[in-house]
Structure 1
């Protein structure tokens, strides 16, 4: 408790340097940042350096990092094998128009581990990977439309993001949401080509795909939708998805850009999903920009030039750049089955401890997640679909208070997204999280009592 109190005292000190940098940034960036996902409260925390499971901000505060650049850094910050591989690579050159052996080595690693990846193409981000997976499904089937889960996040491709911000109307939720554009000016043809499905809704899945079967090229699905709530898949839902997709010749695209970290063979293998195409990113780049599309050899032939012009041309100046390839290989080689088991054990201990605190205090919270991922919800019952996880204004305010409280305790917990563990974390880091969360629950209960008096 003394360490906890000392941490909190340190974190409440003014972040004058971060505030100063944000004021500078507002003069050159439209909203002071270059990513819409950067959290500010009321201004962003600017980072000076990372040290394993921790980062140090420009004001000298040391924070346990549960964001890890949105789950990218599975080994935390400054992972030596990756940094050494990059230093060696920099001496030889950073990018070439010609291929290198490094891309073959990383592709061999991925195709060996991930059953659904028989062939691979590299790009530069998760957004690009999803975009080209959708295009590959269209090229293979000759159909223009896609189906996707409401509320899920799949990057910034127009069709992939339509439907990620659906919300209830004045009368509540409609039986089935209609895709909505993510930004003003989106062509109407985009939303016309996107059909929304509800996660874990078997009946709705079959009805929706049946009605649009002649137009839908693929179902885009995150095996455990993160932004939608880090939802656990029901086996019956994936069984129905596989049967219905096969029946109508619809491809299944598993977006594992985030959830590949769920195991040695990824999330689809963990939950029994057999996709035709899989997208990857984040952890496979060792902290550098990367994306990958992999899948059945038959489907991946749309990228090929064996018969002249490919059905789907795909290039990219920095695709398969050797820096990302070398760093990614070093990071992934270190993710052995034992390393995944270690993260799984830490994740189980953390989720169990969070649930124990919730039960002890009869608090209105629940926890979702698996492996090295977790998410805390201001709901008594863990959500099974996006609609269950959707936050009211009061719930959103509660989550903001929780994030602020943990920040004061020296813990950087992402708001409205999955939190994650990293391999350099130790038992005392888990203890810190559990202690801070339990203290937060106690403080909330005390505050409610005082307000009721």
Structure 2
């Protein structure tokens, strides 16, 4: 029996956000600068944040599970991070010279995993991935890369291939088609990007062997959000590592999102020794950042001492001291106890939503490890991009769930995924679970 939708609990007005969006339409294409954060009719406009909550320009308060797309692991305006940034501002915001803070942050990150022998900073996760790919090409002398179907690795032509395939064009499961994402993508970019299915070890081996002489690297996210936010099996990861070593292909692990899974990042959880790791998000303490780290011999392609480097990498604001001190402070706060606590909260959230769904008889499953979650409005097994691909009806229901959660004061990403932040409490998680339980029967 249909039930009425729950009444909005906190979102009482949108007038201020409506007015700002009308102004934005006059000066920005579509009224937005960030495609990933846009949803119809438009998102609310943030006025400020504190801890696990955001307040919008209309005074509505949201418990923030988006965390600026998984980057704000300590929530908003953490006092120690704020104090560190203010202290640095008084001394300068950026210089044409290196600073001690970049050495300190590099030491902090490399000290957390023996696989990260050296590191270079960038200004976004996209840049970190780009630098890793350029390093792999320089080191191997090969032009092409391989990536998993549906996986997101930033806004870079090669890694956008096969980002949004659909049944009409995605080819066979064992040999996914190479599909350009942005209109105008050069044919050469498509040709130099090989696509492999997620968690199919034998198909992956076959495709890599067929393209081995051209492949510089395989790009792997061990829990790709757009592929369903499901963890890769140990067998798949082991096969990738074995095959890439056999064929002289570098293995790049994209931990821009998943670095928060453990103290040393995501790769230790799979006992994985990557050649390179792309980083971003939580290592910047809420400031723009990216990085590439890994084997010292591979990273030497960036070395410019006394010669032209094999790969020139940098930028005006790379390793700026504001980002470096924010990231250093954030990582020092993100000790093993903090990670264990938010991972336990993630377990509580996933189990609680599953229990609510079972109680009301709505087919739902919740994927994700540690402090991650994604809600799927189906009980069919989620094994990869194709099984996670929603029908038009499922898209409608997901959009309704997202919108209703927003009306009740909970901010998740448009595909109803999210992460936990250290300011969150058991009570916050339980309130979210309760709201999900109220909404599911109405979808």
Judge same fold: TM > 0.5, yes or no. Answer: yes
Residues 305-350 of structure 1: per-residue CA shift (max 9 Å, x gap): 2461111111211110010000000001000100001001100011
1:144 aligns with 2:128: no
Give the deviation of 1:9 after TM superposition.
3.8
Bigger mean CA deviation after superposition, 404-413 or 139-148 = 404-413
Residues 167-213 of structure 1: per-residue CA shift (max 9 Å, x gap): 11179855422221121111100000001011100111010000000
1:280 aligns with 2:287: no
Distance 1:70 1:358 in 2: 25
Evaluate the alpha carbon distance shift between residue 171 and residue 222 of structure 1 in structure 2; reply closer, same or farther with a 3 A threshold. closer
Alignment of 1:174-185 (within 5 A): 175-185=174-184
- Secondary structure of the corresponding residue to residue 195 of structure 2: strand
Give the deviation of 1:7 after TM superposition.
8.1
Give the deviation of 1:106 after TM superposition.
0.2
Give the deviation of 1:404 after TM superposition.
1.5
Equivalent position of 2:161 in the other structure: 162
Distance 1:171 1:39 in 2: 25
Distance 1:153 1:161 in 2: 7
- Secondary structure of the corresponding residue to residue 219 of structure 1: strand
Equivalent position of 1:439 in the other structure: 438
Equivalent position of 2:10 in the other structure: 10
Gaps of 5+ in 1: 445-453
Give the deviation of 1:355 after TM superposition.
1.1
- Secondary structure of the corresponding residue to residue 175 of structure 2: coil
Alignment of 1:192-231 (within 5 A): 192-231=191-230
Aligned length: 439
Equivalent position of 1:389 in the other structure: 388
Contact 2:39 2:414 in 1 (8 A): no
- Secondary structure of the corresponding residue to residue 56 of structure 1: strand
Contact 1:286 1:328 in 2 (8 A): yes
Equivalent position of 1:112 in the other structure: 111
Distance 2:53 2:6 in 1: 17
TM-score by length of 2: 0.96
Give the deviation of 1:274 after TM superposition.
1.7
Contact 2:399 2:415 in 1 (8 A): no
- Secondary structure of the corresponding residue to residue 291 of structure 2: strand
1:422 aligns with 2:421: yes
Bigger mean CA deviation after superposition, 146-155 or 223-232 = 223-232
Residues 346-392 of structure 1: per-residue CA shift (max 9 Å, x gap): 00011111111122223221110011110001120341211111111
Residues 3-40 of structure 1: per-residue CA shift (max 9 Å, x gap): xx9982432x2301000000001010011011111233
Give the deviation of 1:264 after TM superposition.
0.6
Equivalent position of 1:33 in the other structure: 32
CA-based RMSD of the aligned residues comes to: 1.6
- Secondary structure of the corresponding residue to residue 317 of structure 1: coil
Give the deviation of 1:82 after TM superposition.
0.9
Distance 1:73 1:31 in 2: 26
Contact 2:128 2:291 in 1 (8 A): yes
Distance 1:208 1:304 in 2: 33
Evaluate the alpha carbon distance shift between residue 190 and residue 171 of structure 1 in structure 2; reply closer, same or farther with a 3 A threshold. closer
- Secondary structure of the corresponding residue to residue 278 of structure 1: strand
Equivalent position of 2:66 in the other structure: 67
- Secondary structure of the corresponding residue to residue 104 of structure 2: helix
Distance 1:304 1:9 in 2: 56
1:55 aligns with 2:54: yes
- Secondary structure of the corresponding residue to residue 128 of structure 1: helix
Contact 2:402 2:416 in 1 (8 A): no
Alignment of 1:32-431 (within 5 A): 32-169=31-168, 173=172, 175-306=174-305, 308-416=307-415, 418-431=417-430
Bigger mean CA deviation after superposition, 116-125 or 374-383 = 374-383
Give the deviation of 1:443 after TM superposition.
2.6
Distance 2:186 2:236 in 1: 32
Distance 1:188 1:399 in 2: 34
Contact 1:238 1:272 in 2 (8 A): no
Residues 415-437 of structure 1: per-residue CA shift (max 9 Å, x gap): 12630110000111011111001
TM-score by length of 1: 0.94
Which portions of structure 1, spanning 4 or more consecutive aligned residues, are displaced by more than 6 angstroms? none
